[in-house]
Every structure is written in structure tokens, then in C-alpha cells.
Amino acid sequence: MSHSPKRIVPFDDILAALLDDSRPFPPVFLHRFSDLNPTDLIKLKTVWPQISTQRRIALMEDLEELAETDTLVSFDDLSIFALDDEEPRVRSAALRALWEADNEKLVPKFITMMEEDPDEMVRATAASTLGKYVYLGELEEISSKTLQSVEDHLLAVAQSAELPIIRRRAIEALGYSSRPEVKPLILAAYNNTDPEWLSTALFAMGRSASEEYIPAVIEQLDHPDPEVQFEAVRAAGQLSAADARETLLDMLQAGIEDAELRMAVIWSLSEIGGEQVREVLESLMDETEDDDEADFIQDALDNLFLTEGLASFEMFDFEPQDEDDLHSIINLEDDEEEKDDNHYHPDN
């Protein structure tokens, strides 16, 4: 049986649907905003001021959500344009949509938005977005000049008289940084009596890859504030805190009503690995009747496989102390064939 090809809807028709507030915008059209060609982008920019505020907000938020679930789409061109929208919620959504952009040329724009945008949530979102560039800088994937500029501006905001939400986002963005000025900011946030600041400290600690923060993270695993506890659980996983394993397993066994916290515990255990973790996750997989939860647990088991593989690899990550050690490494394969009955063999 032959199938007629699907009709490609003209972009002009999609723009007309976008302008028509009397009808919901068809979600099937969202993919058409990915990798817009220059002609269609110009058309969109031309009609953009005529699109209602609520429709622009909904479009950008829908595109942001689609980008999170479909890694093949890219709305960078539209998002860059939307950074100058008059509506703060559109600008914020555009910033979030550009989290994966890795475009070093956008850094000055993000810094300006963090420091000068009239809306506080846009300034806070811009600070969060700059965290990606601190991370890239630590990996030496952007220039050292750009990294220093990003860190300098984030440090200035973090230590300024700015609103707390913006200062907190700046500290969280600096969590990836190895600059010595960052640690005192994280510790000051940790010792703040406000749970929101404590959450920020734990968020930054998780990003730091520094084992020195593990005791502080573990101390907050039973914190009464749900957000603090969530960030502590997540940080424990990011830091591969083996000392947190037993507590996290106990939390699962006792039962966790909050679905988000439960997923965080499961994922952190997959990042930590070790005794009982695989058995517990496989048992959860067998017990669940929820397809979404089953998919999540399977992802966690896949991640655990990587964690276990890394742990096995690190067991052999040592330097030979003498010629005998070096000889044993070089001849390991030959020696395998000569093992006597006193040696372990998988078939025994």
C-alpha cells in the first residue's frame, strides 16, 4: 500500500496560527521553530510585535520544555532574538532555552542582563545561565579570558547589595569554580539561618567536585526543610559520597512520600554505587507499577552500571612501586593461563 507524503505546512500558516488568539496554538507546529532558515526567521521577527504577550510567553515556555525532551531540536536563533523581548517572562524563558547553547559570544549579553535587566527574575536567571560558562571554563572549553570575566562579574554580584535571589544564583553558578574566593561565599551561605541560603550552599557544594564538603552535605540529609533535604540528597550523589549510602538506603526503605525527593535519592544512589544499591534499585523496578517511574529507575540502573565500571577502573589506577609490580602488570595476560588452584577463577 502506498502512502502519500505528509503535507508540509507553509511557515506563513504557522505564523498565522501564532497570531490567532481565538484558537490554541497546535503543539505539532513547535518543531518548525527549530533551526529556522534566515527567511523564516525574518518573517517571525517581523510579526513578533503583533503576537500577544501570553502567546509569546507560552511559545517560549513550550519550546523550552520541548528542548528538554528532544535533544535534536535547537531554538537558539529564536531564543537569542527573544532575549530583548519587552516581557520579562519571555526573556527568562529565552535564557533558560539557551542553557545548552555553548556560545561564548553570548556571554557579554548574559552578563549585561544579570547586572542591568529591570526585572529581578531575569537577572537571577541570567546569573544561573552563566554557571554553564564557569563549567566550560573549568574544562578549558572556552577562553581563560572569558572564564575570568564571567567569574569576576559573578563574584561582584554575589558580594554586592543585590537582592538575595540574584546573589544566591550567582553563588550557585560559581559552584563549578576553583577560584579561592568562592569557598568563603559557600560557607557563609551554609552557615546562614535562612533555609534558602543553605539550599544554595548545598547546590554549590554539589557542583564543586570537592570531597571536603561531604561531611557538611551528609549533616543536612535529614533537614526538616524539604528543599534543603532535596539539595543535600542531590549533592551527596554529585560528590559520590559513599558515607551517605546507608542513610539514603534507609530513606528508601522507610518510604518517601515526596516523588521528587524519592527520585533524587534513587539517582544519587546510582551515582554513589556500592553495597546493596543494585539490589535495592532492581527490587524497586520489580515492585513499581508506574511506567514513568520504571523508566526512571531503568535510567538509574544504567547510570549505576557506569558508576560501577568507573569504580572498577579506579581499582587498577595505581603506579607500580618496584620492578616486580611493573613486571606483574606487563605479564598479567600470560600469568592468567598459569594460575594454580589457589587462585580465583570465575568458574570456581
pLDDT one-digit tens code per residue, 130-179: 999 999 999 999 999 999 999 999 999 999 999 999 999 999 999 999 99
Answer for the pair 307, 273: CB distance below 8 angstroms, yes or no.
Answer: yes
- pLDDT confidence of residue 168: 98
**pTM across the whole model:** 0.84
Which bin fits 255, alpha (ψ -120 to 50), beta or left (φ > 0)? left
- pLDDT confidence of residue 311: 67
Region 62-66 average pLDDT: 93
Region 323-327 average pLDDT: 47
Residue among 241, 172, 239, 174 nearest 210 (CA): 239
- pLDDT confidence of residue 1: 47
Which domains does the chain show, CATH number per domain?
210-318 (1.25.10.10)
Residue among 108, 109, 114 nearest 126 (CA): 114
pLDDT at 293 over 50: yes
Instruction: Give the pLDDT band (50/70/90) at residue 281.
Output: very high
Joined together, the cell numbers standing for residue 115 give 547586572
Round the average pLDDT of the chain to a whole number and report it.
Answer: 89
Quick one: what percent of the chain has pLDDT higher than 70?
A: 87
Answer for the pair 214, 243: CB distance below 8 angstroms, yes or no.
Answer: yes
Instruction: Give the pLDDT band (50/70/90) at residue 314.
Output: low
Instruction: Give the pLDDT band (50/70/90) at residue 337.
Output: very low
pLDDT at 3 over 80: no
Instruction: Give the pLDDT band (50/70/90) at residue 100.
Output: confident
For residues 298 and 159, what is the distance between their CA atoms, to the nearest angstrom? 42
- pLDDT confidence of residue 244: 97
For residues 152 and 6, what is the distance between their CA atoms, to the nearest angstrom? 52
Answer for the pair 205, 217: CB distance below 8 angstroms, yes or no.
Answer: yes
pLDDT at 322 over 70: no
